[in-house]
Amino acid sequence: MWGWRFRNHSTFSLLAITSGIVALTCIVIVGSAGGRQLDPEDEEDKNDAAHGLGQHITWLPLKEGFEIAEKEDKPLMLIIHKSWCGACRSLKPKIKESKELGELSKKFVMVNVLDDEEPPEELYRPDGGYIPRILFFSPKGELMDDVINTEGNPQYKYYYYDVDGIMTSMNGVVKKLLSPLDDDTNIDQNTKDAKDADENAPEDETTTDTTTASDKSEL
């Protein structure tokens, strides 16, 4: 009997020690994770106005953006997007990772509005409320409604699905309003891959339905 009690006591002691080690290990792991700092490149809230579109671009709030555009005599580029929009989420990393767009953006005042930040005026939905939309404004705050995605779907003139299309419009604005671009910021259109606009349709702001532009045209 004494042998059984000794073995039983030893077993309980071993279990207690093991449990203590596991608990201590968990505390160390949790403590280390809690104290870990994020890589600065991943801190998307470093500039609240960026909304995940990249810290390599200077983003401003809409009202301040128009004020700076007039003061510095620069055109303003506005991106309207939503957190729930699949097409918006697809475009976001393309903008974030494009150094060329970041360099070209220095010739603009850059603004993007997310979710409820979108202004309610009809001025900002010249041909509908689909998203994402990218609009360009003169330094005086006038909508440049003739600056559209020429490679996109004509039903959604201000919808862009890649950086090439965005930079084409940016180059057009600069050519129209400012001095000619430097060679290193121009994009060679001869190397641009053909895109099928019907396979890259925007999303209607009122629904998360991913109906394509071709489907909507038949309704």
pLDDT tens by residue, 12-43: 444 444 444 433 333 232 233 333 343 344 44
Q: What is the band of 181 on the pLDDT scale with cuts at 50, 70, 90?
A: very low
Which among 19, 75, 14, 81 has a CA at the least distance from the CA of 50? 81
pLDDT tens by residue, 51-61: 999 999 999 99
Residues 182 and 109 in one domain: yes
- Averaged pLDDT for residues 172-199: 58
Which among 99, 77, 89, 86 has a CA at the least distance from the CA of 52? 89
- Averaged pLDDT for residues 90-113: 98
Q: Please, is 183 exposed, middle or buried when counting C-beta atoms within 10 Å of its C-beta (0-12, 13-18, 19+)?
A: exposed
Give the type of residue at 82. K
- Averaged pLDDT for residues 125-149: 98
Residue 211 clears pLDDT 80, i.e. is over it: no
Residues 204 and 128 in one domain: yes
In a domain, 217, yes or no: no
Residues 82 and 188 in one domain: yes
Residues 25 and 117 in one domain: no
CB 199 within 8 A of CB 211: no
pLDDT tens by residue, 53-84: 999 999 999 999 999 999 999 999 999 999 99
Rg (CA), the chain: 26
Average pLDDT of the chain to the nearest whole number: 76
Residues 206 and 145 in one domain: yes
Q: Show the domain range for 109.
A: 45-211
> What is the Cα–Cα distance from 73 to 76, expressed in whole angstroms?
10
In a domain, 106, yes or no: yes
Residues 142 and 188 in one domain: yes
Residues 57 and 96 in one domain: yes
What's 199's domain CATH number?
Answer: 3.40.30.10
